[in-house]
Chains A and B, each alone.
Chain A
C-alpha cells in the first residue's frame, strides 16, 4: 500500500472503448465506491491532472487526441490503461481500424485487466499508480543541496561575478 501527500486528480478519456469501462470509472466516483473521499477528483482539464485514466484501444482518429491530452499533462504524470481493450486491444484486437492497446500511442504505467474492468480493479490500479507517481516525483525532485547551490548562482549574479573577478586577480 502506498500513500501520497497530495490528492491526485485524474483526467479520463474514452479511447475506443464500448463504454463498459467508462461507466465503471464513473461508478468509482459515486457513493458505493466513492474515491472522492480520498480527494481523488475527476477533472476535465488535462493540465490539472496527475493521472490519465484511459479506456479503449487506439485507432487512427483518436491517436492524436490521446497524445495531445498526454502532452498537456504536467510532469510527473501516470498513465493507467483500464480494461482489456486499453491493455491489448481486447476483443477488437483484429478489427481493421484498431492499432492495438494504448501503449502503441503513449507510455503506459499501470495495466488494469477486465472486460469490463470492475470498480475494485480500477481503484486497485489507481493505488498502484500512486506508487509510480511517487517514484516519478522523487526522480524529478532536485536534492536540497543542489537547489541551494543553484539559487546562489542564479539569484545573485553580482556575487558570482565578484567571486570570478577575485579568482582572476
Chain B
C-alpha cells in the first residue's frame, strides 16, 4: 500500500453540470474516504419569505431548482393551502399531477443522458436529450415555459389544459414510448453499461435505511419509500400507486429504477387524462396565513422533499424550510464512494442524480 493522497474533485469539473467539491482520499487507485464540501450555490432563498408576499413567493420556490421546478412550486403551494385550510379543486390537482409527472419524465431523461455521458457513451447522451425535447415541447405548449413552468399558484393552477389538448398529449406520449423503448433497451442490455455499472457503488438495504436516503436511490436498494403511495394531494390516491423497486442497490439498479419510472409516469399521465374531472382550476385566496405551522411532502424526481411553513398573520411568512432529496442522499453518496475506484467516482456521483441547487438552495 502506498501512502494516501488527497485528490480534489470539483467544483468545476467536466462531468458535473453543477459545482460540488469532494476531497477524495486515495490509497493507490482506491478511494478510502470522500469528504464533500458544499455551499457554492447557496443563495439563502428560504429567508426571502420575509421579503416577498406568500403568494408571490411561489415564483421563488419554483426557482429552488430548474429541473424539478414544478414540484417545488407545488410543494410550497400545498404547504400554504394546508396552513390556510384551502380546498383545491380536483381538476387542479389532476392538472398538477400531469405537470409533475411530465417534469419527472424530463428530469429522468435528462439524468439518463448525463449518466450516459459520464460513462463516455456520447451517442446515447445525445439520443436521450433528443427524446427529451418532445417532453419540453409538451411543457411549452401547455405552460409557455421550457424549464420553469410558473403555472402553479396558491389555491390551484393558472392555466387549464383543454380536453382535446390532453388527448393530443397522450397521442404524443404513445409515440414517445417507442423511442424510450429503444433507449431503455440499450441502457438495460448493453454490455459496456453492465460492465461499468453492475456491482459498483452498492448500498445495502440496511445502509439505505440507516443513512436515510430517499427516492430512486432508496428504491434501488429495495426500500419501498415513495411519498406518492400516501399522497393525499394530486391524483395518486385515486389512480393507485405502487413504487418501482430493485434489490441490487448498485449503480445499475438505480439506473433501472429511473428508466422503469419513465413508463410509470406515462401511465399516470394517461390515467389522469382518462379520469380528468370537470370544474374550476383555482379557488380565490383570501386573507393572510394564520399564526400556525404546517408541513407537507412531495415526491420529487430525486426523492422526497419536505416543506415546512410558519405564518404570523401577515403577508409574509415567518419561516419556510425545505429539506431536499439531494441533501438526504449526500450521506449515502459518501458511503458509496468508500472503497470504489477513482475512475468510477463520476458514475457513482451521477447515479444519485445530484441536484446541487436543490441541495444548497
Contacts and interface: CB of A to CB of B under 8 A. Distances in A.
Interface of A: 11-24, 26-27, 30-32, 43-46, 56-57, 59, 61-62, 65, 69, 91-92, 94-98, 115-116, 118
Contacts of B13: 44
Contacts of B63: 18, 20, 91-92, 115
A95 B113 CA distance: 33
B30 to A, nearest CB: 24
Nearest to A96: B44
Given A59-B42, A62-B19, A116 B148 contact: yes
Contact of B19 (A30, A46, A65): A65
B316 interface: no
A26 B17 contact: yes
Interface of B: 11-15, 17-19, 39-45, 47-48, 51, 59-60, 63-67, 69, 110, 113, 125-126, 129-130, 133, 136, 145-148, 355-357
A32 B27 CA distance: 44
A95 B44 contact: yes
Contacts of A30: 113, 125-126, 129-130, 133
Nearest to A119: B146
Given A30-B126, A30-B129, A16 B41 contact: yes
B147 A116 contact: yes
Contact of A22 (B17, B39, B129, B133): B17
20 contacts: A14-B18, A15-B41, A16-B42, A16-B357, A18-B64, A18-B66, A19-B17, A24-B146, A26-B17, A30-B130, A31-B133, A44-B12, A65-B12, A65-B19, A69-B12, A92-B45, A97-B44, A98-B43, A116-B147, A118-B146
A59 B43 contact: yes
Contacts of B44: 95-98
Contacts, number: 121
Contacts of A27: 129, 133, 136
A158 to B, nearest CB: 48
A95 B129 contact: no
B41 A96 contact: no
A94 B41 CA distance: 15
Given A61-B40, A62-B41, 9 more contacts: A14-B17, A18-B69, A20-B147, A27-B133, A59-B42, A92-B45, A92-B60, A97-B43, A118-B146
Contacts of B129: 26-27, 30-31
A61 to B, nearest CB: 5
A12 B13 CA distance: 10
Contacts of B133: 27, 30-32
Contacts of A97: 42-44
Nearest to A83: B66
Given A65-B40, A98-B43, A20 B48 contact: no
A142 B136 CA distance: 48
A36 B289 CA distance: 51
Contacts of B356: 14
A22 B14 CA distance: 13
A95 B47 contact: yes
Nearest to B21: A65
Nearest to A43: B14
B77 to A, nearest CB: 17
A96 B126 contact: no
Contact of B66 (A22, A43, A62, A94): A22
A17 B129 CA distance: 21
A94 to B, nearest CB: 6
A116 B139 CA distance: 14
B112 to A, nearest CB: 12
Contacts of B17: 12, 14, 19, 22-23, 26
B357 A17 contact: yes
Contacts of A56: 41
A31 B126 contact: yes
A92 B43 contact: yes
B48 A19 contact: no
